[in-house]
Amino acid sequence: MSGKHTAILIDDHPVVRAGYRKLLERQAEYKILGEANTAKDGYELYKRTEPNITLMDISMPGSSGLEGVRRIKAYDRKAKILIFTMHQSVNYALKAFEAGAAGYVTKSSPSSELIGCMGAVLRGGQALSDDISRMIAAERVSGRSSPIDDLGPREVEVLKLLAAGNSTEEASKLLQLSHKTVQNYHSTIRSKLNASNDAKLVWISIAAGLLKATETGDMNE
């Protein structure tokens, strides 16, 4: 089993979990460590197994999957969680990213898309299914204002580099600025965008069309 990515499945429908398990077990690189049908049980399962990636539904009995994401991330800030849900909603996707999820895929998406998004999350990036990406693009094309409209040109440059996975130190070298200056930009950007965490900065960058979900990286420093 060496070299396999470990995963757990958290969904309240046994038939759905069985389908995901079958799909992932057909992929040579995955090993399923366990399943849970509530966010609470999923949290306990995560603590016991500490998998490489967690697939979580949103709508479950008791606490929602979003609360489950928050609890797991509080326990392990490096946890990689992908929301896999029936909710085809930009708002739900935003809430998932704000909670700490690294990916959001709808259950209407092709299985190949789920596998691809899981790979992106495992590599340290963020991932969105194509239908959600199209909805975000449509909102942007409609002319709705974007939070980044309040940022200056240099702040936009810094945001794009950080959202793409560069550290503040790496961004400072690319922009030929001092590390302290980029750290200050980082703090100012989060304040202007009312971003409680860097995952929200990534989401805002995707929503604004600065970069695609597949171009993002891990912003944890």
pLDDT in tens, 164-209: 778 899 999 999 999 999 999 999 999 998 888 887 888 788 777 7
Residue 221, in any domain of the structure: no
Task: Tell me which residue range forms the domain holding 155.
Answer: 145-215
The single-letter code of the amino acid at 169 is E
Whether this prediction's pTM lies above 0.75 is answered by no
CA neighbor of 192 nearest in space, from 219, 157, 155 = 155
Q: Averaged over 153-166, what is the pLDDT?
A: 87
Query: Which of 50-54, 131-135, 152-156, 203-207 comes out lowest in average pLDDT?
Result: 203-207
Residues 30 and 104 in one domain: yes
Which amino acid is located at 27 in the chain? Q
Same domain, 83 and 176: no
**Does residue 83 contact residue 69 with C-beta atoms inside 8 Å?**
yes
What digits encode the pLDDT tens for the residues 26-58? Answer: 998 999 999 999 999 999 999 999 999 999 999
Angle between helical axes of 90-99 and 198-207 (0-180°, round to 10): 150
Q: How many Å apart are CA 210 and CA 215, to the nearest integer?
A: 10
Percent of the chain at pLDDT exceeding 90: 60
> What domain count does the chain have?
2
Question: Higher confidence at residue 72 or residue 167?
Answer: 72
The strand order across the sheet containing 103-106 reads 30-36, 5-10, 53-56, 81-85, 103-106, 127-128
Among 139, 156, 188, residue at a domain's last position:
139
Quote the DSSP letter at residue 181.
H
